[in-house]
Amino acid sequence: MKKLLLGATALTLCAGFSTATYAEFTLNILHINDFHSRFDPITGSDSNCDAETDAAGECFGGIARLKTIIDDTRAKYEGGNSLLLSAGDNFQGSLYYTTYKSKVVSDFFNQMGFDVVATGNHEFDDGPEEFLKFIEAAKFPIIGGNFDVTKDEGLRGKIEGSIVLDIGGEKVGIIGATTEDTPDIASPGDVEFHDVIQYVRGASEALDAAGVNKIILLSHIGYNEDLNVAASLPLVDVIVGGHSHSLLGSMEGAVGPYPTMVTNPEGVEVPVVQANQYGKYLGDIAITWDDEGKVTKAEGEPFLIDASVTANEEFKTQLAELAGPIEEMTSQVIGSTTAKLEGAREVCRVEECSMGNLLADAILDRVADQGATIAFQNGGGIRSSIDAGEITVGDVLTVLPFSNTLATVQISGADVIEALENGVSDIENGAGRFAQVSGLKYSYTLAKPAGERVSDVMVKGEGDTWVPIDEEKTYTIVTNNYVRGGGDGYGTFAEGENPYDFGPPLEQVVAEYLAKLGGEYTPYTDGRITVIK
């Protein structure tokens, strides 16, 4: 990259004194996060976009449009300093990943010219082995940070926690950090995760000692945790984040400003940015440092990638070739819905949602004749909405991309309550552990601390009656194999009796449930989860 001195300011002192010039350095950071292999465009509700709707200009994102806007924006900064970053979770979330795994991600990302990519928790969904394939295929550095890979023979020595880039003659340090919850929400094997703040403190001090005074944290820990890190550490200048899929800016639905400025322990404001999800936005922030490495300016906004962006033709051709082998299977219609099935993370991770009800009802119906009376579906296992109209195999696989199977276990009523407490223990950070349920009703409040939030737990009695749960009684629970094994913090299920994880795939269960209902489904909520304000 060419050196560029922007905004050089001459300070003239009184007669008889010399004139000093202070050089500023501006870096234009382009960034995405939580792409989740959404290579095709999406609708306004983040569900699959069909060709007709896309042609009508009503869809967003898609890798071909993302390629165009990245190329156009970097061209705008030609001769200047720019950096293209991904804050992780590029795996999982579409049939492209289900079919082609990490190869489809590395193939497209290599062509897009990413400078640095962070590690998301979903990069471990298929174990360290698939993550290793991604690292070895990537033509860009992938950074880790607060996790130790020395016990994994494949990953050992293959990933660094931070990297220093020479940009325009200046040294810029970039530190990686991944959510400490990864062992609970993915499958990292022997990879061990450590405290984010402790790691970033040490890494930033090491960079500072080496003379690097421009430090970016490229994190996958969530917006709230980013704010906490910014307020806690003195040497981090900028945080580019992911994991919470947060929309920042002045638009409707934004959870904070872009950038969000946080005062660090030395009284310096630190800009924190994130760019929503699924390649729907491209973040674009210009950071200016003075000679001493202090941020003096942070300006920018996320760019909405809508139909005004022309899709890159080469990428469209590549996608069409990849889509061919899976189209026949995924286009099979298995039913229809009279209204939108709400599967947005902003809904299904905080309250009852219609997609959660469908999934929980379907799995409970499947094993009701085996004595199961309660169903748990983790909100994080719901990855998309489905718009009104036909429901295809592809739609269901997009909602349920993890290849999970039906699982059952027996636990006490007291353990059911403990499981519900786990589900609402981290709502503030949009955690995927939130419990969508069937055969069960409960209330919760955020006015109490985690572990004391759940109340009014009821189970089905005779007929249509509901009765308080019996803490001493044993109940048969149905869920998915991931949750049954303790995923998303559900240790009560991992420790239960008579576990069985090898039922049919969830997508098959849902398809057969829709067929049983006659094919047409009307989404609903019925008050099974009550939020007490």
Which pLDDT does position 325 carry in this prediction? 86
267 belongs to a structural domain: yes
Residues 18 and 127 in one domain: yes
Instruction: Give CA–CA dist 356/433, Å, rounded.
Output: 13
Residues 110 and 236 in one domain: yes
Percentage of the chain with pLDDT > 90?
86
The tens digit of pLDDT for each residue in 478-533 reads 999 999 999 999 999 999 999 988 788 899 899 999 999 999 999 999 999 999 99
257 belongs to a structural domain: yes
Residues 46 and 108 in one domain: yes
402 belongs to a structural domain: yes
Which pLDDT does position 22 carry in this prediction? 57
115 belongs to a structural domain: yes
311 belongs to a structural domain: no
Instruction: Give CA–CA dist 425/431, Å, rounded.
Output: 9
Instruction: Give CA–CA dist 248/12, Å, rounded.
Output: 40
90 belongs to a structural domain: yes
Domain edge (last residue) among 258, 290, 322: 290
Number of domains in the chain: 2
Query: What's the CATH number where 284 sits?
Result: 3.60.21.10
Domain edge (last residue) among 290, 317, 343: 290
Crossing angle for the helix pair 313-330 and 63-76, nearest 10 degrees? 160
Residues 253 and 391 in one domain: no
Residues 35 and 114 in one domain: yes
Residues 263 and 351 in one domain: no
Residues 439 and 508 in one domain: yes
Which pLDDT does position 19 carry in this prediction? 37
Give the domain range for residue 380.
335-532
299 belongs to a structural domain: no
What's the 3-state SS for 161-223? CEEEEEECCEEEEEEEEECCCHHHHCCCCCCEECCHHHHHHHHHHHHHHCCCCCEEEEEECCH
Residues 353 and 280 in one domain: no
Residues 107/136, Cβ–Cβ less than 8 Å: no
* First-residue to last-residue Cα distance in the chain: 53
Instruction: Give CA–CA dist 516/531, Å, rounded.
Output: 32
pTM as predicted: 0.80
The tens digit of pLDDT for each residue in 140-193 reads 999 999 999 999 999 999 999 999 999 999 999 999 999 999 998 888 999 999
Residues 108 and 257 in one domain: yes
- Phi first, then psi, for residue 226 (nearest 5°) are -60, -45
322 belongs to a structural domain: no
Query: What's the CATH number where 496 sits?
Result: 3.90.780.10
Q: Residue written as tokens 């970016």?
A: 216
Residues 211 and 354 in one domain: no
Dihedral, CA atoms, 193, 197, 201, 204, nearest 10 degrees?
80
Tokens of 156: 């050992």
